[in-house]
Amino acid sequence: MPSPVIELHNVSYTYPDGTEALKNITAKIFEGESVAIAGPNGAGKSTLLLIMGGLLAPSSGEVKIFGKKIDGKMISNVKKMYEVRKKMGIVFQDPDVQLFSSTVHDDVAFGPIHLGMSMDEVESKVSDTLKFLGLEHVAEKHPYELSGGEKRKAAIATVLVSSPDVLLLDEPTADLDPKSRKEFVELLKKLKDGGKTIVIATHDMEMLPEIAEKIFVIDRENITEGNLRDVLMDEKLLEEANLDVPLVARLFKMLESSGLNCDEIPFNTDGAIEKIRNMVNG
């Protein structure tokens, strides 16, 4: 059985102004999983992601990353946290937070340079990462010249170049046009198939059937864990969490109400359409 890479037990977090962001959250994420943290704005998703990435210590409760206990004292110890953080890659909701150099190339090279790699190794890593993400053509562009989709990919490149084991992404499809969103989902699927552990905080429910295996629905102190199909078919749960029911779940509801057994139908749009087409054609 895969090992847990992130473990939370009764984790709470209160901001300095007294605002309670999270209360008694317990969750485990295992190596190689693709996990979604879904919830409305203000539910605490971004705060939870920062805690999972070892950037924020909980106010109470226990956090373990790769088996190491993470608290305020640990986080303040740069040397001890180095071994943890080099395995974690966090992509923030606003790509401009991660793109601050004069060119995309320099932004992507920043991390490897500060990890002490030789310049030859840095150039090789940067080149491979840009090629993998299809960004070679924007390498010498200023980040402000990029489209929304290119900015998202560039932000991922700054993280992916250091070969982290775990990718944490905060609202990765926010503000993307349909074409860029589709390309981004395909990228996440490729990373998932490559063995990365992926955690996505989002309220974009349509994306989840394509990439997630497990889902946590969160609203500050309430967290519900389940496999993707069960959670997304639970209309009451999604409604109470102020989340949309994705198209594929609505399709399955209609099929089941017609007496069709949907257990053998893949729970993603393309897979469902193909399976249904084959069933109809007999």
Q: What is the pLDDT of residues 31-51, one digit of tens each?
A: 999 999 998 888 889 999 999
Q: Which residue would you say has higher pLDDT here, 1 or 23?
A: 23
The overall average pLDDT reported for the chain is: 89
Whether residues 229 and 204 share a domain: the answer is: yes
Q: Which residue has the higher pLDDT, 133 or 282?
A: 133
DSSP letter at 144? G
The rounded distance, in Å, linking the Cα atoms of 125 and 176 is: 27
Which residue, among 250, 269, 263, has the nearest Cα to 210 in the 3D structure? Answer: 269
The H or E element that residue 231 is part of is: helix 228-232
**Averaged pLDDT for residues 133-144:** 94
* Together in a domain, 187 and 48: yes
Model pLDDT, residue 31 = 94
190 within domain boundaries: yes
Say what the pLDDT of residue 136 is: 94
Residue 211 within a domain: yes
Same structural domain, 61 and 169: yes
Question: What is the predicted pLDDT for the residue at 62?
Answer: 96
Looking at the fold, whether 64 and 177 belong to one and the same domain comes out as yes
d(CA 26, CA 61): 9
Query: Considering the domain boundaries, does residue 92 fall inside one?
Result: no
pLDDT single digits (tens) 187-245: 888 888 888 999 999 988 888 888 899 999 998 677 889 988 889 888 888 888 889 88
CB atoms within 10 A of CB 79: 6
For residue 267, give its domain range: 246-282
| Percentage of the chain modeled with pLDDT above 70 | 98
133 within 8 A of 108, measured Cβ to Cβ: no
271, pLDDT greater than 80: no
Provide the CATH number for the domain around residue 190: 3.40.50.300
| Mean per-residue pLDDT, 170-197 | 87
Task: Mark whether 121 and 257 lie in a shared domain.
Answer: no
Query: Would residue 217 count as lying in a domain?
Result: yes
Q: Does 237 share its domain with 209?
A: yes
Domains held by the chain: number: 3
**230 is a domain residue:** yes
The long-range contacts involving 232-238, CB below 8 angstroms and separated by at least 24 positions, are 232/205, 232/208, 232/267, 238/205
Task: Inform me whether the pLDDT recorded for 181 exceeds 70.
Answer: yes
Q: CA-to-CA distance for 178 and 90, rounded, in angstroms?
A: 24
Q: pLDDT tens digit string along 248-269?
A: 888 888 877 887 777 777 777 7
In this structure, are 146 and 72 located in the same domain?
A: no
Let me know whether 56 and 171 are in one domain. Answer: yes
Residues 51 and 145 in one domain: no
Last residue of a domain, one of 163, 180, 196: 163
pLDDT over 90 (residue 272): no
Per-residue pLDDT reduced to its tens digit, 72-108: 999 998 888 888 888 999 999 899 989 999 999 999 9
The residue-averaged pLDDT of 129-156 equals: 92
pLDDT score recorded for residue 120: 94
Domain-located, residue 269: yes
pLDDT, residue 183, reads: 85
Tell whether the model's pLDDT for residue 1 goes beyond 70: no
pLDDT of the residue at 200: 95
pLDDT for res 249: 84
Query: In the predicted model, is pLDDT for residue 19 greater than 90?
Result: no
Q: Would 64 be classed as within a structural domain?
A: yes
Same structural domain, 73 and 209: yes
Residue 17 and residue 62 in one domain = yes
32, part of any domain: yes
Sheet holding 60-65, edge to edge: 20-30, 4-14, 60-65, 68-69
Within this chain, do residues 101 and 178 fall inside the same structural domain, yes or no? Answer: no
pTM (two decimals)? 0.88
Among 163, 181, 205, identify where a domain stops.
163
Dihedral in degrees, nearest 10, Cα atoms 68, 45, 145, 138:
40
> Which of 163, 186, 207 is a domain's end point?
163
